[in-house]
């Protein structure tokens, strides 16, 4: 039997590919990985369009109860749906490795990801450096790694895509505003000129859907309303004149 890993795109039920839909239709069990991203439509919309009941696979299920998914896939065709594209998280790769170790056939059906759809802002995808993410700070856990990644990319003239943490169950999301606030807080203690109120940034929301993009100084985007999640942030590196022109669309 086959475990299908299927990217379902960024926005709504209709972003699945034809190949993906055909695979879903023949699967007995359909899991939706529901913690690394969200769509702009409720799960019922997917169920209606796919004609299948969807089992939500949260972080605990994917990381701890992978055995259940694999046990299903040993006996039946199983779809594991991932919002965006399929290999955005280590746990997805782990799932495939474990399936293969059990002799389960795996098939991969790709889709658009935030990692390439972000090209809509007009920055050259090849000129992005390491991607980083801003997590929610917790008691005793306030990492600053993302600041160092931005610094490293800037030194090489590269753009930085900054993903923003999400807790879908609690409906909590790091917004562009919050991301900038955290960066300014770190910048005020470092004082190394990597980031300040006047740093030009690109704030993005709901790419692939009713997207909203704004290019401006950090201090201005700090209070700009980007609307519903998901959000992400770009700190541009050295700009080619075409990139400069493209960014003007969003000023
Ligand atoms: C782990 S990534 C999701 C990877 C996903 N599998 C993919 O291929 O797009 C999740 C983060 O990416 C960003 N993101 C994902 N989709 C987005 C979208 N449509 N618009 C803006 N940001 C998005 C958000 O910062 C979100 O918290």
Domain CATH number, residue 188: 3.30.950.10
What domain range includes position 179?
115-248
**In the listed set 57, 91, 112, which residue is the last one of a domain according to the structure?**
112
Ligand 1 atom nearest 82 alpha carbon:
6
Q: Is the domain of 58 the same as that of 100?
A: yes
Q: Which helix (H) or strand (E) holds 151?
A: helix 145-155
From 75, 97, 112, give the residue that closes a domain.
Answer: 112
The answer to whether residues 90 and 19 belong to one domain is: yes
Nearest to residue 182, comparing CAs of 248, 121, 132? 132
Nearest Cα residue to 67 out of 34, 102, 36: 102
Rounded Cα distance, 6 and 71, in Å: 19
Kindly state whether residues 61 and 179 are assigned to the same domain: no
Could you tell which of 162, 171, 232 is best to mutate to test the pocket of ligand 1, judged by most ligand atoms within 8 Å of the CB? 232
Residues 15 and 29 in one domain: yes
**Is there an atom of ligand 1 within 6 Å of 9 CB?**
no
Instruction: Answer yes or no: are the C-beta atoms of 166 and 229 closer than 8 Å.
Output: yes
Question: Do 185 and 135 belong to one domain?
Answer: yes
Most ligand 1 atoms within 8 A of CB, residue of 33, 113, 163 to mutate: 163
235 within ligand 1 shell (Cβ under 6 A): no
208 lines ligand 1 (CB under 6 A): yes
Q: Check pocket membership of 3 for ligand 1, CB cut-off 6 A.
A: no
From the CB of 232, is ligand 1 less than 6 Å away?
yes
Q: pLDDT per position in the chain (251 positions), as tens?
A: 999 999 999 999 999 999 999 999 999 999 999 999 999 999 999 999 999 999 999 888 777 778 889 999 999 999 999 999 999 888 899 999 999 999 999 999 999 999 999 999 999 999 999 999 999 999 988 899 999 999 999 999 999 999 999 999 999 999 999 999 999 999 999 999 999 999 999 999 999 999 999 999 999 999 999 999 999 999 999 999 999 999 999 99
Considering its fold, how many domains does the chain have in total?
A: 2
Q: Specify the ligand 1 atom closest to the Cα of 173.
A: 27
- Cα(88) to centroid(ligand 1), Å: 9
The pLDDT, as a whole number, for residue 60 is 81
* Same domain, yes or no: 142 and 206: yes
Q: Which ligand 1 atom minimizes the distance to the CA of 166?
A: 27
Atom of ligand 1 nearest to the CA of 83: 6
Same domain, 119 and 16: no
Residue ending a domain, among 112, 143, 172, is 112
Do both 147 and 35 map to the same domain? no
Beta strands in 122-187 (DSSP E): 132-134, 160-164, 166-167, 172-173
pLDDT attached to residue 183:
98
Give me the CATH number covering residue 65: 3.40.1010.10
For residues 41 and 54, membership in a common domain is answered with yes
């Amino acid at each position: 039997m086959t475990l299908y890993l299927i990217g379902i795109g960024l926005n709504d039920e209709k972003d699945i590919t034809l190949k993906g839909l055909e695979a879903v239709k023949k699967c007995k069990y359909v899991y939706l990985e529901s913690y690394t991203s969200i769509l702009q439509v409720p799960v019922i919309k997917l169920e209606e369009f796919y004609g299948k009941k969807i089992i939500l696979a949260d972080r605990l299920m994917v990381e701890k109860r992978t055995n259940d998914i694999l046990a299903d896939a040993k006996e039946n065709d199983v779809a594991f749906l991932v919002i965006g594209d399929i290999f955005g998280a280590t746990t997805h790769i782990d799932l495939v490795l474990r399936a293969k170790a059990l002799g389960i056939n795996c098939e991969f059906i790709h889709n658009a990801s935030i990692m390439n759809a972000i090209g809509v802002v007009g920055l050259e995808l090849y000129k992005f450096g390491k991607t980083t993410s801003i997590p929610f700070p917790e008691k005793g856990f306030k990492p600053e790694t993302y600041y160092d990644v931005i610094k490293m990319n800037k030194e090489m003239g590269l753009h930085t895509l900054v993903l923003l943490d999400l807790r879908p169950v609690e409906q909590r999301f790091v917004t562009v505003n919050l991301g900038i606030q955290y960066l300014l807080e770190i910048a005020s203690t470092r004082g190394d000129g990597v980031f300040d109120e006047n740093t030009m940034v690109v704030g993005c929301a709901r790419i692939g859907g009713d997207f909203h993009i704004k290019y401006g100084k950090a201090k201005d985007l700090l209070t700009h309303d980007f609307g519903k999640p998901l959000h992400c942030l770009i700190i541009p590196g050295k700009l080619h004149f075409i990139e400069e022109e493209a960014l003007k669309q969003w000023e």
